[in-house]
């Protein structure tokens, strides 16, 4: 960049020598040091509230740690015991199953639907496109707690959803059914999808708009119809955007907390009487923020989630790279 | 080109049917809030849904306000304070850092930018437990500073503003400022900031929305006596779940600001979301 190699000589040539030397020094300082000052705030805040707690969590996960009462009940180093405990903790595996169950149930239809909506919004000469775009953004502006309460109500026995299903002859479903985790999963996945499908459609649309038009033109000249154009031009070109959307979905989906908490009335974080929809984030919270004395175990659960997220993201990356080749 | 354009001008009606359906599904639950909030309890107990609003809104909302344990306005004010402080801080630090990454040359620039991108992958819940412990040590549990401090900067914000500065501020403009004897900070303040204002406004809207809707951490560190709006909503929903007209009246007021934001600034917000995505 030119500005580092060309100091602003012209305006200073007429100044007396000492002043000029000082301003050259200042100028040097300004160019060499100030960039670091400008990016410093981010790194300071991240170091204190991001990096330190993250490694502190790792450290705590090797201890039997009582968060509320550390003075009278000092932490005891127990090595990998917290991780071993996870291996045969039925509640942990239940939470794992619920997290992945809801995640798959929510994400697969969501991405498919978002792709479809984006493709519809990407039609040239579409009328009312601002209205459609704003309409699908509205759910994302609604807070997750609000979404939880709204859908909790719509999924009641006499709620709108059962009424709508009744219209097509599907008999009332008990969406808070005893022991039936499918009903819980479906309800929670619906909330997630309502809030995020439109948002993801907008991002995929952005990716589609960035694809050069002449690619479609040459495909059309080669005789490719709309369907063929989508699979041969749009989808491969959309790969980076799709990767972005799916990784964001993984990071968010595996941390799912608010929707299932509110859906199960929000007072506890057990996710229903039989933990039908308790996710890993809720189980972590239960161990460390409800019963503070299990904070070490909660920390271990946190790190297991982090590793899962990283593995799922890498797996997803490899999968998308392969399928689109 | 002209021939082609004539050929595709008319879209299949299915596109409009599909998009209309999607829009209805997106809007209906919000309309549902409006109906329940403005009617008495009967609306929910009907076997078939109610489609029209009633006139009970103030009644319902006052019921919520009258409860001693519901600190609705306090939650609202706290949410406004938290979201505003965080937004101002994120916009200032992000535009400044974004300017540095886009237009200034310094050692380690690319590596540092990459580091920032990687930190976006770190899930918020990962530091939750120690963060709570830190806040407790500092005496900030139940204090709204506890939900402000961790969010004062944003990796996404730095990234977005870097991209925006790259595209909106030509190098010649920066050079001209240098020639005129501007320091880098003066350049930022007088040249870059006005030029990136549209991008900064989008970042402000997105940040405000995100903070307004935050729940996990506020629930962990605040109490229903000194809550944010989302903590109040969560509390109302499990305390008064028998009286949904009360819950929904509070809900309606709580979601209104962001609904209005989308109606007024929808185009800009959508632009920001799409901008951030393509350049990622």
For chain A, give every domain's residue range: 81-323
User: In this model, does residue B135 exceed pLDDT 60?
Assistant: yes
For B206, the domain range is 80-228
pLDDT given for residue B47 in this prediction = 65
Report whether CATH 3.30.460.10 matches the domain A81-323.
no
Q: What is the mean pLDDT of residues A180-186?
A: 89
User: In this model, does residue B1 exceed pLDDT 50?
Assistant: no
**Residue A12 pLDDT grade (very low, low, confident, very high; cuts 50, 70, 90):** very low
How many domains does chain B fold into? 2
Torsion A132-A241-A305-A55 (CA) sign: negative
Residues B2 and B23 in one domain: yes
Residues B158 and B118 in one domain: yes
Cβ contact, residue pair A158, B150, below 8 Å: no
Residues 94-153 of B with CB under 8 A from A: 94, 96-97, 99-101, 103-106, 109, 112, 116, 119, 121-134, 136, 149-150, 152-153
Which tops the pLDDT comparison, B25 or B239?
B25
User: In this model, does residue B21 exceed pLDDT 80?
Assistant: yes
Instruction: List, in sequence order, the alpha helices (H) in chain A.
Output: 2-5, 17-46, 52-60, 81-87, 90-121, 129-141, 144-154, 160-167, 181-209, 213-221, 226-229, 235-237, 239-253, 258-263, 280-285, 295-323
Residues B9 and B145 in one domain: no
CA distance A90 to chain B (A): 22
Q: What is the pLDDT of residues A220-277, one digit of tens each?
A: 898 888 888 888 888 888 888 888 888 888 888 999 999 999 999 888 889 888 899 9
**Residue A2 pLDDT grade (very low, low, confident, very high; cuts 50, 70, 90):** very low
**Nearest Cα to B174, choosing from B188, B153, B161, B159?**
B188
pLDDT given for residue A324 in this prediction = 57
Q: What is the pLDDT of residues A110-121, one digit of tens each?
A: 999 999 999 999
User: In this model, does residue A10 exceed pLDDT 70?
Assistant: no
Computed on alpha carbons and rounded to an integer, the radius of gyration of chain B in Å comes to 24
Closest residue, chain A, to B93 (C-alpha): A41
Which residues are CB-neighbours of A171 under 8 A, at least 6 positions away?
A165
Considering only CB atoms, A149 lies closest to which of B45, B251, B277, namely: B251
pLDDT over 70 percentage in chain B:
93
Residues B106 and B191 in one domain: yes
B24 lies in some domain: yes
- Residue A238 CB: number of other CB atoms within 10 A? 21
Q: What distances in angstroms separate CA A81 from CA A34, A67, A70, one per listed residue?
A: 47, 18, 19
Which tops the pLDDT comparison, B259 or A180?
B259
Find the range with the poorest average confidence among A30-34, A79-83, B77-81.
A30-34
Residues B259 and B188 in one domain: no
Considering only CB atoms, A141 lies closest to which of B49, B119, B259, namely: B259
Residues B184 and B256 in one domain: no
CATH of the domain at B220: 1.10.3720.10
Q: What is the pLDDT of residues A41-72, one digit of tens each?
A: 999 999 999 999 999 999 999 999 888 777 77
Closest residue, chain B, to A158 (C-alpha): B47
pLDDT given for residue A97 in this prediction = 95
Round the average pLDDT of chain B to a whole number and report it.
88
Find the range with the poorest average confidence among A9-13, A77-81, A307-311, B186-190.
A9-13
Q: What is the pLDDT of residues B40-70, one digit of tens each?
A: 877 777 667 778 888 889 988 998 888 888 9
pLDDT given for residue B111 in this prediction = 95
Residues B125 and B5 in one domain: no
Q: What is the mean pLDDT of residues A100-118?
A: 95
B279 lies in some domain: no
**Residue B178 pLDDT grade (very low, low, confident, very high; cuts 50, 70, 90):** confident
**Residue B9 pLDDT grade (very low, low, confident, very high; cuts 50, 70, 90):** low
Residues B162 and B218 in one domain: yes
pLDDT given for residue B274 in this prediction = 82
Cβ contact, residue pair A203, B273, below 8 Å: yes
Q: What is the mean pLDDT of residues B210-236?
A: 92
Round the average pLDDT of chain A to a whole number and report it.
87
Cβ contact, residue pair A138, B262, below 8 Å: yes
Residues 270-299 of A with CB under 8 A from B: 281, 284-285, 288-289, 295, 298-299
What is the b/e burial string over B137-166, where b = at least 16 CB atoms within 10 angstroms of the residue's CB?
Answer: eeebbeebebbbbbbbbbbbbbbbbbbbbe
Query: What is the CA angle A151-A270-A184, rounded to 5?
Result: 40
Residues B120 and B19 in one domain: no
Chain A contacts of B245, Cβ < 8 Å? none
Closest residue, chain A, to B46 (C-alpha): A158
Residues B245 and B117 in one domain: no
B140 lies in some domain: yes
Residues B5 and B44 in one domain: yes
Residues B214 and B94 in one domain: yes
């Amino acid at each position: 960049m030119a500005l580092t190699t060309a100091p602003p000589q012209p305006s200073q040539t007429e100044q007396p020598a000492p002043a000029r030397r000082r301003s050259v020094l200042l100028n040097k300082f300004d160019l060499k040091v100030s960039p670091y000052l400008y990016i410093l705030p981010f790194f300071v805040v991240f170091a204190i509230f991001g990096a330190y707690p993250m490694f502190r969590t790792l450290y705590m996960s090797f201890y039997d740690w009582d968060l509320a009462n550390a003075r009278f009940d000092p932490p005891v180093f127990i090595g990998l015991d917290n991780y071993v405990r996870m291996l045969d903790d039925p509640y942990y595996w239940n939470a794992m199953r619920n997290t992945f169950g809801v995640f798959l149930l929510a994400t697969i239809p969501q991405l498919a639907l978002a792709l479809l909506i984006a493709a519809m919004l990407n039609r040239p000469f579409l009328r009312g496109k601002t209205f459609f775009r704003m309409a699908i953004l509205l759910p994302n502006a609604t807070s997750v707690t609000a979404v939880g309460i709204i859908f909790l109500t719509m999924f009641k026995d006499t709620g709108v959803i059962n009424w709508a299903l009744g219209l097509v002859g599907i008999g009332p479903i008990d969406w808070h059914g005893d022991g039936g985790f499918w009903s819980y999963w479906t309800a929670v996945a619906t909330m997630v999808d309502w809030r995020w499908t439109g948002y993801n459609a907008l991002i995929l649309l952005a990716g589609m708009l960035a694809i050069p038009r002449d690619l479609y033109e040459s495909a059309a000249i080669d005789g490719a119809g709309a369907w063929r154009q989508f699979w041969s031009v749009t989808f491969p070109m959309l790969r980076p955007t799709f990767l972005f959307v799916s990784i964001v979905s993984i990071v968010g989906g595996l941390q799912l907390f608010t929707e299932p908490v509110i859906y199960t009335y929000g007072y506890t974080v057990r996710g229903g009487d039989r933990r039908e929809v308790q996710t890993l984030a809720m189980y972590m919270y239960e161990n460390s923020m409800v019963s503070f004395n299990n904070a070490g175990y909660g920390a271990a659960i946190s790190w297991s989630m982090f590793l899962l997220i990283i593995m799922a993201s890498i797996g997803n990356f490899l999968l998308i790279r392969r399928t689109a080749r | 080109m002209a021939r082609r354009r004539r050929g595709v001008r008319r879209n299949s009606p299915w596109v409009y049917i599909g998009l209309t359906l999607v829009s209805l599904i997106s809007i209906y639950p919000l309309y549902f809030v409006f109906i329940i909030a403005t009617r008495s309890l009967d609306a929910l107990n009907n076997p078939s849904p109610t489609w029209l609003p009633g006139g009970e809104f103030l009644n319902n909302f006052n019921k919520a306000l009258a409860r001693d344990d519901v600190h609705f306005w306090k939650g609202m004010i706290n949410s406004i304070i938290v979201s505003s402080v965080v937004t101002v801080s994120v916009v200032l630090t992000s535009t400044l850092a974004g300017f540095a990454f886009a237009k200034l040359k310094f050692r380690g620039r690319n590596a540092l930018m990459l580091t920032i991108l990687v930190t976006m992958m770190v899930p918020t819940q990962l530091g939750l437990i120690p963060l709570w412990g830190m806040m407790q040590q500092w005496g900030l549990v139940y204090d709204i500073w506890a939900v402000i401090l961790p969010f004062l900067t944003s990796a996404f914000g730095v990234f977005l503003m870097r991209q925006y500065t790259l595209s909106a501020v030509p190098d010649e403009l920066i050079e001209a400022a240098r020639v005129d004897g501007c320091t880098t900070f003066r350049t930022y303040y007088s040249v870059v900031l006005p030029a990136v204002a549209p991008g900064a406004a989008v970042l402000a809207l997105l940040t405000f929305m995100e903070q307004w809707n935050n729940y996990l951490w506020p629930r962990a560190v605040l109490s229903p006596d000194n809550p944010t709006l989302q903590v109040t909503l969560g509390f109302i929903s499990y305390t008064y779940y028998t009286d949904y007209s009360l819950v929904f009246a509070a809900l309606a007021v709580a979601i209104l600001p962001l609904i209005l934001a989308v109606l007024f600034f929808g185009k800009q917000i959508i632009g920001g979301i799409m901008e951030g995505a393509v350049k990622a």
